[in-house]
Copies of this chain bind each other. A is one copy, B any other.
Amino acid sequence: MRASQFPLFTSRETPADAEIVSHQLMLRAGLIEKIGAGLYTWQPLGLRVMRRVEQIVREEMDRIGAMEVLMPAVQPAELWEESGRWSLYGPELLRLTDRHERDFCIGPTHEEVITDYLRRELRSYRQLPLRYYQIQTKFRDEIRPRFGVMRAREFVMKDAYSFHLDQASLEATYADMHNAYTRIFERLGLHFRSVGADSGAIGGSVSEEFMVLADSGEDEIASCTACGYAANTELATSRPVAPTADTPLPAEERETPDVHTVAEQCAYLDISPMQVVKSVVVMADETPAVLFIAGDDELNLVKVAHALDAEDVRLAEPDEALAATGVPRGFIGPKGLPEGLTQRVDHRAAALVNFSSGAGRADWHWINLNWDRDLPLPPCADLRTAAAGEGCPCCDEGHLVIDRGIEVGHIFQLGTKYSESMDARVLDEDGHKQPLIMGCYGIGVSRVVAAAIEQNHDDQGIIWPAPLAPFDVAIVTIGADRSPDVAETAERLYSELRAAGYDPLLDDRDARPGVKFADIELIGIPHRLVVGARGLENGAVEYRDRTQPENEQLPVADLPQALGERMGSPASSRAG
């Protein structure tokens, strides 16, 4: 492609409303253009990158025998009513009515549609297992779309679904998908990690996320320094610490005026946070519950939801907490709470002896409380977020480190969540009707582009991993209008590189060299050749790797070979 025929709508200014670097760079480099809140046009340059992602995803899905389909974006409400998600899914589901006042949604995901398809077309268990995928535009009506395509409302996803007669078959496909995802992110040239994850609103029991590692990531990943353990901190655990063997002391109530926080409590009573049991009131599906965790621990709402078997959990408002416990804020404790109020205690808090807590009335706290002796131990559960430095739950050697990541893939063992509710069954070998066992597998195709930039950029702009670059190499001419030799050499290089299977960008624009260099760095082309009259006098062109600080002079005569060594095989021949 010639830059004179491929407008680079670049900009030097950082857009005011772009908070993260990938959003800023995607706008500045002219990859995307904002049309409305969370709605973007993929400009030619950006679409080239996304198509490269799509192509690798498609090849790896085809390789494991998944069949590509295309389901409608607009889905009838009836299917979502059957699965129960029409009422469960929140306002992120964009609902609409057609001219006949029938209800539809624009699908954020397609479990219902594909389950409906299979229940109507599947004739025999012998046709199983089946694996389908599609690459499609989806919609999620985010309350506050931001971060560009990282959290857009309209986005491109690869979603895949598998159908099985038994769990073993599901597990085999799940493993194939795990391997395919691993190959995809490897081929994309990204640093990533697969981690155990919460299944959330999609459902099912087992799931793993694929995270692109980046400091700006919204997710936290705990992983072991020694073994392969890695999990989203939503559900990561750590090695239990042996309880202290302190001698139980007599429990005492102490007056603690104006003490409201754990810090104040520790200072006033001269104890450490590890001697405190914090009480936190939450609303679980709008029913109050009280949770007890150690004073230096962080409550993990995803784990709370699992412990309480609730769809939706949030911290209680002050008036809700007061109504549920009858105790003013800061003085709630596990002793003397109203009967019938749901309570759970975290394992670590359950192991404390001689702990302090609110006394259940204003301005008073207990010290030296002990479970069982002074009050019954509520049901135990894992309620805390695992922290860096704690022991690995899977091995005896390692400890946890915490990284930040951007979720770009998520694979689920769904089980029969959809097939039971939608009555998708097949006759097994013995003539019994069995619900289909399902898996689902997603990759945020448009999000991968942003995640790659979060991971790979510098002050000058994007640094594309070669497999993602919109162009493999840029050829920049300097003074082509004054030197026929420059124009001719650049054209010859352009032809040779195309013939060798590369996708070069010939920057033949009538612009100052500084403008061209800045654009090429901003848009992140991995390799750059500068063809200028002065270099050609010495029979050389200037080469630079986008990741390296220094230029190299390459002799024109050896150029094809020298470039091949530096650039590797062209993308078109890189298929896995």
Measured CB to CB, the residues of A under 8 A from B are 5-7, 9, 30, 33, 35-36, 39-44, 47, 50-51, 65, 67-76, 79, 91, 94, 96, 98-99, 104, 106, 113-114, 116-117, 120-121, 127, 130, 132, 136-137, 139, 141, 143, 153-154, 156
> Does the CB pair B75–A47 fall under 8 Å?
no
> Does the CB pair B9–A74 fall under 8 Å?
no
> Does the CB pair A42–B65 fall under 8 Å?
no
Asked whether A33 and B68 contact (CB < 8 A) given A41-B113, A94-B98, the answer is no
Report the Cα distance A132→B6, complex, angstroms.
11
> Does the CB pair B99–A154 fall under 8 Å?
no
Report the Cα distance A137→B33, complex, angstroms.
19
> Does the CB pair B73–A44 fall under 8 Å?
no
> Does the CB pair A35–B75 fall under 8 Å?
yes
> Does the CB pair B41–A69 fall under 8 Å?
yes
> Does the CB pair B9–A116 fall under 8 Å?
no
> Does the CB pair A39–B70 fall under 8 Å?
no
- Nearest-CB distance from A446 to chain B (Å)? 9
Please name all residues of chain B whose beta carbon is closer than 8 Å to the beta carbon of A96 when the two chains form the complex.
Answer: 94, 96
Asked whether A41 and B71 contact (CB < 8 A) given A116-B35, A117-B33, the answer is yes
- Dominant SS among interface residues on chain A: mixed
Report the Cα distance A40→B70, complex, angstroms.
9
Selected A-B contacts with CB under 8 Å, 12 pairs: A33-B120, A35-B75, A35-B76, A36-B72, A36-B76, A47-B68, A51-B68, A73-B139, A74-B106, A74-B139, A74-B153, A96-B96
> Does the CB pair A74–B44 fall under 8 Å?
no
Please name all residues of chain B whose beta carbon is closer than 8 Å to the beta carbon of A41 when the two chains form the complex.
Answer: 69-72, 113-114, 117
Asked whether A73 and B5 contact (CB < 8 A) given A41-B117, A98-B141, A99-B141, the answer is no
Report the Cα distance A139→B139, complex, angstroms.
15
- Integer count of this chain's copies in the complex: 2
Please name all residues of chain B whose beta carbon is closer than 8 Å to the beta carbon of A51 when the two chains form the complex.
Answer: 68
Asked whether A154 and B117 contact (CB < 8 A) given A67-B6, A67-B44, A132-B44, the answer is no
> Does the CB pair A73–B154 fall under 8 Å?
yes
> Does the CB pair A73–B137 fall under 8 Å?
yes
Asked whether A70 and B47 contact (CB < 8 A) given A76-B39, A113-B41, the answer is yes
Please name all residues of chain B whose beta carbon is closer than 8 Å to the beta carbon of A143 when the two chains form the complex.
Answer: 99
For the complex with contacts A36-B104, A41-B113, A73-B73, 4 further pairs of A-B residues with Cβ separation under 8 Å are A42-B70, A74-B139, A74-B153, A99-B143
Please name all residues of chain B whose beta carbon is closer than 8 Å to the beta carbon of A67 when the two chains form the complex.
Answer: 6, 44
Cβ-closest chain B residue relative to A446: B70
Please name all residues of chain B whose beta carbon is closer than 8 Å to the beta carbon of A33 when the two chains form the complex.
Answer: 117, 120-121
Cβ-closest chain B residue relative to A130: B7
Report the Cα distance A50→B70, complex, angstroms.
10
Which of B69, B127, B153 touches A43 (beta carbons < 8 Å)?
Answer: B69
> Does the CB pair A154–B6 fall under 8 Å?
no
Report the Cα distance A30→B141, complex, angstroms.
33
Please name all residues of chain B whose beta carbon is closer than 8 Å to the beta carbon of A91 when the two chains form the complex.
Answer: 99
- Nearest-CB distance from A89 to chain B (Å)? 12
Please name all residues of chain B whose beta carbon is closer than 8 Å to the beta carbon of A6 when the two chains form the complex.
Answer: 67
- Nearest-CB distance from A544 to chain B (Å)? 27
Report the Cα distance A99→B144, complex, angstroms.
10
Please name all residues of chain B whose beta carbon is closer than 8 Å to the beta carbon of A40 when the two chains form the complex.
Answer: 72
Please name all residues of chain B whose beta carbon is closer than 8 Å to the beta carbon of A137 when the two chains form the complex.
Answer: 73, 136-137
Please name all residues of chain B whose beta carbon is closer than 8 Å to the beta carbon of A72 when the two chains form the complex.
Answer: 35-36, 39-41, 154
> Does the CB pair A65–B98 fall under 8 Å?
no
Cβ-closest chain B residue relative to A116: B35
Cβ-closest chain B residue relative to A126: B510
Please name all residues of chain B whose beta carbon is closer than 8 Å to the beta carbon of A73 when the two chains form the complex.
Answer: 73, 137, 139, 154
Please name all residues of chain B whose beta carbon is closer than 8 Å to the beta carbon of A120 when the two chains form the complex.
Answer: 33
Please name all residues of chain B whose beta carbon is closer than 8 Å to the beta carbon of A5 when the two chains form the complex.
Answer: 65
Please name all residues of chain B whose beta carbon is closer than 8 Å to the beta carbon of A116 when the two chains form the complex.
Answer: 35
- Nearest-CB distance from A241 to chain B (Å)? 45
- List the 6 closest pairs (A to B, CB-CB), nearest first: A96-B96, A44-B67, A42-B70, A36-B76, A39-B72, A9-B121
